[in-house]
Amino acid sequence: MEILWWLAPPVVVTVAAMVWVAWLGREGRGGVDRDVAVERMAKALRKEHPALTRPGPAADRPRDRSTGIAVRPSRNRAQGDDVRRSA
């Protein structure tokens, strides 16, 4: 237990720094008037968000059938043959 006493000074300094920063930061944010905040929120809610206005549902798009394995297209496929053959 005596070997851990070297940790006491850094712990005390760390705790003191945390308390000091918390005390300084508690009033540094500045207050916003409630009416101003309501106006800002109303303006943000009226705005068009591109992420919410999609052209169509996700079911219309083709599904990615990725299996996680990279597959190189065979030479037969380039000729119009859809059959895959192993080498």
Residue 82 in this model has a pLDDT that exceeds 60: no
What CA–CA distance (Å, rounded) separates 77 from 55?
A: 33
pTM of the model: 0.32
77's CB contacts (< 8 A; 6+ apart) are: 84
Tokens representing 24 are 């300084």
pLDDT tens string 42-66: 999 998 877 666 566 656 666 666 7
Structure tokens at 78: 């380039």
| CA–CA dist 62, 87 (Å, integer) | 30
